[in-house]
């Protein structure tokens, strides 16, 4: 059988929506049609515009805001590394935590959870209404890599549970087209795995091929179940079809460090890419639109297993 064809595009095939706004991460498209990103190095959130208007700083989080997602409550939820990943310009002291910010109101971001976390990296709301987030234990590679954790935080109960504690540099996280499928980027092992999850467990889905990609960072899933992966050190963003076959590459450039991805636009047919070098936010047209964020509510099956709980 012939190998699947691979399409390659470059920065010239997309649009530059913003630049020079720091170490960009965590892009989010809201249900009211707005695009926000984090600036890890500035301890701030920016609004970015699809029509080319200059990006605007809209909130100071302090520390190092990393991943971000839209919550079921309409607020933006932020994984805050507390300035552990890199120096920050912000003078606002913040510890590693989960923060929330209402983009409809002038109030500052608020800390929701800060106990027992190392340096939260990325997050996604599940169809169970819970926030699932990755929490690396350092940012080492090879022999220097330490096992990190994946948490599930239930906002209604104000309760957090460790779901995985054996992922080396857990990073990007996204739910698939089926509510029980969770994708996690394991940056220090150069792979993305799919897990089958319950309300308290996650097991590797051995029916799905492990995706091998250099230093995977942020990830997002499209409406067909295809997966876009930002490869930070590789300088590329790669697309894998629902069968985990490589189909497309966006060659952002060596040393540019693409950090994360999301879908934007009224039809969710633009792929947004945050790029650390130059503090950029890029947009590329895509054929298959993304999944809505947050996902529609569907209960995730409970399990009798009781992993470590947050004290």
Per-residue model confidence (pLDDT) at position 118: 96
Nearest residue to 182 (alpha-carbon basis) of 104, 122, 119: 122
Q: What is the pLDDT of residues 246-267, one digit of tens each?
A: 999 999 999 999 999 999 999 9
Cα–Cα–Cα angle for 290, 169, 26, rounded to 5 degrees? 35
Predicted local confidence at residue 143, as pLDDT: 80
Q: Where residue 302 falls among pLDDT bands split at 50, 70, 90?
A: low
Question: Is pLDDT at 307 greater than 70 in this prediction?
Answer: no
**pLDDT tens digits for range 23-77:** 999 999 999 999 999 999 999 999 999 998 999 999 999 999 999 999 999 999 9
Predicted confidence (pLDDT) per residue in 95-134, tens digit: 999 999 999 988 899 999 999 999 999 999 999 999 999 9
pLDDT in tens, 136-183: 998 888 888 899 999 999 999 999 999 999 999 999 999 999 999 999
Residue 296: what pLDDT?
78
Q: How confident is the model at residue 2 (pLDDT cuts 50, 70, 90)?
A: low
What do you get for the CA distance between the two ends of the chain, in Å?
54
User: Binning pLDDT at 50, 70 and 90, where does residue 230 land?
Assistant: very high
Q: For 73-105, how does the pLDDT look when each residue is reduced to its tens digit (9 = 90+)?
A: 999 999 999 998 888 899 998 999 999 999 998
Q: What is the pTM of this model?
A: 0.94
């Amino acid at each position: 059988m012939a190998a699947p064809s691979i399409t390659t595009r470059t920065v010239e095939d997309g649009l530059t929506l913003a630049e020079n706004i720091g170490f960009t991460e965590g892009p989010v498209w809201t249900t009211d049609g707005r695009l926000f990103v984090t600036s890890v190095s500035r301890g701030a959130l920016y609004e970015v515009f699809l029509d080319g208007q200059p990006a605007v700083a809209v909130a100071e989080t302090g520390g190092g805001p990393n991943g971000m997602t839209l919550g079921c409550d309409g607020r933006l939820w932020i994984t805050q590394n507390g300035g552990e990943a890199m120096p920050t310009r912000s003078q606002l002291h913040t510890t590693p935590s989960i923060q929330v910010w209402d983009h409809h109101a002038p109030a500052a971001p608020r800390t929701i959870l800060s106990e027992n976390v190392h340096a939260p990296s990325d997050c996604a709301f599940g169809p169970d209404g819970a926030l699932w987030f990755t929490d690396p234990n350092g940012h080492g590679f090879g022999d220097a890599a330490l096992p990190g954790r994946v948490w599930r935080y239930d906002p209604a109960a104000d309760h957090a549970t460790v779901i995985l504690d054996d992922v080396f540099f857990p990073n990007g996280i996204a739910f698939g087209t089926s509510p029980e499928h969770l994708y996690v980027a394991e940056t220090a092992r150069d792979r993305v795995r799919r897990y089958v999850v319950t309300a308290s467990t996650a097991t590797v889905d051995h029916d799905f091929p492990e995706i091998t990609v250099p230093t995977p960072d942020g990830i997002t899933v499209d409406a067909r179940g295809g997966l876009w992966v930002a490869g930070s050190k590789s300088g590329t963003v790669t697309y894998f079809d629902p069968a985990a076959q490589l189909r497309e590459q966006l060659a952002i450039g060596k040393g540019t460090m693409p950090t994360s991805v999301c879908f934007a636009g009224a039809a969710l047919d633009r792929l947004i890419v945050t790029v650390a070098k130059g503090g950029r936010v890029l947009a590329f047209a895509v054929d298959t639109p993304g999944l809505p964020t947050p996902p529609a509510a569907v209960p995730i099956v409970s399990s009798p297993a009781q992993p470590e709980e947050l004290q």
